[in-house]
Each structure stands twice: as C-alpha cells, then as structure tokens.
Amino acid sequence: MTAQLIDGNALAKKIRAEVAGRTQALRARGIVPALSIILVGEDPASQVYTRHKVNDSTETGLQATLERYPDSMTEAELLARIDTLNEDPAVHGILVQLPLPRHMNAHKVIETISPSKDVDGFHVASAGALMVGQPGFWPCTPYGCMKMLEDIGYDLKGRHAVVIGRSNIVGKPMALMLLQKNATVTICHSATQDLKSLTLQADVIVAAVGKRNVLTADMVKPGAVVIDVGMNRNDEGKLCGDVDFDAVKNVAGWITPVPGGVGPMTRAMLLVNTLHAAEALSVER
Ligand code: GUN
C-alpha cells in the first residue's frame, strides 16, 4: 500500500472531544444544546441511523430526543410538529430522518424546518448560503470530507477536484465547498462521457455515487487524494464504498477506508452543526 490512510474514526473522535468541551462550556452558562430527531415509519436502516445519532449526541453531552411516529402520520401533522419545534427555544437543531413515507413531500417538510435549526443543512436557505459563501449549516457528509482534507493539511488552492455524483446532499454541496477553497472543480455524473479521462486529471477525487467500483486503480493519478463517500455491500455482504480500495490504495497518495472513513465524520459533523446552532442562539440572547 502506498497511500496514507485518512482515519475517519480517529478524526471523528477528536472532533467529538472538541464538541464535548464546548458543550460543557455552554452547559456551564445554563444552555443545553438540544437536537430533536423525527423518525416517521419503520425503515430499518433509518432506525439504526437515528439510534446512532442519539447515542453520539448523548455521549458528547448534547441532549437528543428521538420522536417516532407511525407511517400513518399525515404530512400536515408532521409540519405542525416541526412548527412547534421551530418555536421551542430549548430546541436548537431539528432533523427529520429521510426517506419519508411516500405520501409525504420531503422537500416541503425540509423547507418547514427553520433555517436556524437546519442542522442537516438540507434547507434551500442553507444550500443558498453555501452557494454565496455566507454563514449557514453545511450538509454533514461533504462538511466531514472537507474536515478530512483540512486534517491532512491539504491545500486545495489551484488543485483539480473531481466529484463523482451530483446529489443535493453530497455531490453539489461538496463541489461548492471545494470551490470555496479555490479548487478547480469538475462534477461528474451518470451522463458524463469518459469519466476516466477526467478522474485521471484529478488531484482530489470524491466518489459519491452509491455504486461499487465506480473508481478503479486505472482511473487514478498517482498520489491523488481519494475520498470514498459510498456505502454499499459487496457479494459477501461486507460494507464497501464506491472505490476499489484494495487496488486504488496502491496508486493514491491518500485514501479513506470504508468503513471507518467518511461515515464517522458525517456523524461527527451533525454534532458540530448542533453545537453551532446552540452557540448561535446563545449569542442572540
Ligand atoms: N437519511 C440518510 N442520511 C440522512 C441524513 O444525513 N439526514 C437525514 N435527515 N436523513 C438521512
């Protein structure tokens, strides 16, 4: 292996310790950073994810509440609940776990969350703030990727970053964050022609497609930084990313593993956003 590993578990641990310290300082002033998580329905993966989010929060000293509602909840009921949480001064962050049941309009639901409590960074106001470089919540996954690049001391200025994937949650905000650090950014997607010719030019590659082996060793310039956002299962049922890790690690300069790379960082950045939400509100008082 030539590539250096970017250890998401270790960095997330460091970030959680920082959040814990700042949370303690807020608590000393009588402010308890609080996250409300809403889960509608019985999606098994969502149940696991939300449980992790609650555990991460409480272990860090944040207060997290998981509200569970049945599939039969109406959209109007959910919007009313979000309105109540928006108005509650003791709640700093609101997260509605996705996917929502099919009878609900996820966009409408997200837009109902107050932008000042949008710790997922999914609201159009958060996306707009990122686009114009104004303060706002950044979506946790690309935010975590940026922290990893910062941690290895990588200067993005003038570098060519190729983002594979154009989702609103990862690909698009990732590209904007890289651009903000003065990288030259290319966004690739399912209609991109000759992906390999583009990735071979990249100093940084972020793979965020949700498909195994999207990035193979022949597509990577020697020494490039490779960040793998994918979460897939291989034929043996083992967790794997979008990158052919075993081969790409012999070409890349830096690489994130799956598991233990971007995943823990995504979880850590939710805590950071929630802390920021509480700190921002505490300043306003
Ligand atoms: N479902 C899968 N990932 C996420 C996430 O980061 N936030 C929310 N709200 N739902 C998700």
Tokens of 52: 């992790």
Residue whose Cα lies nearest atom 2 of ligand 1: it is 98
Cα–Cα distances (Å) from 142 to 72, 184, 228, 266, 281, in that order, read: 33, 16, 11, 8, 24
Closest CA to 267 of 110, 49, 68: 49
CATH topology of domain 30-115: Rossmann fold (3.40.50)
Q: What residues flank ligand 1, with Cβ below 6 Å? A: 49, 95-98, 120, 140
Dump the DSSP string for 132-188: HT-S-PPPHHHHHHHHHHHHTT---TT-EEEEE---TTTHHHHHHHHHHTT-EEEEE
pLDDT recorded at residue 285: 39
Q: Tell me, in angstroms, the distance from the centre of ligand 1 to residue 266's CA.
A: 10
Active-site residue 53, yes or no? yes
User: Per the residue annotation, which of 56, 63, 97, 242 is the catalytic one?
Assistant: 97
pLDDT recorded at residue 55: 98
Neighbours of 253 (CB within 10 A): 18
pLDDT recorded at residue 152: 98
Domain ranges of the chain: 30-115, 140-263
For the chain, 285 residues long, the average pLDDT of each consecutive 10-residue run is: 94 98 97 98 97 98 98 98 98 98 98 98 98 97 98 98 98 98 98 98 98 98 98 94 98 98 98 97 55
Distance of CA 62 to the CA centre of its chain: 18
Radius of gyration of the chain (CA): 19
Q: Tell me, in angstroms, the distance from the centre of ligand 1 to residue 52's CA.
A: 12
Contacts from 102-111 at CB under 8 Å and sequence distance 24+?
103/74, 103/75, 104/40, 104/75, 104/78, 105/75, 108/75, 108/79, 109/75, 109/78, 109/79, 109/82
Nearest ligand 1 atom to the CA of 139 is 6
Q: Tell me, in angstroms, the distance from the centre of ligand 1 to residue 31's CA.
A: 26
Domains 30-115 and 140-263 alike in fold: yes
Dump the DSSP string for 18-50: HHHHHHHHHHHTT---EEEEEEES--HHHHHHH
pLDDT recorded at residue 273: 98
As a CATH number, domain 140-263 is 3.40.50.720
Residue whose Cα lies nearest atom 3 of ligand 1: it is 98
| Angle subtended at Cα 97 by Cα 95 and Cα 102, rounded to the nearest 5 degrees | 130
Active-site residue 120, yes or no? yes
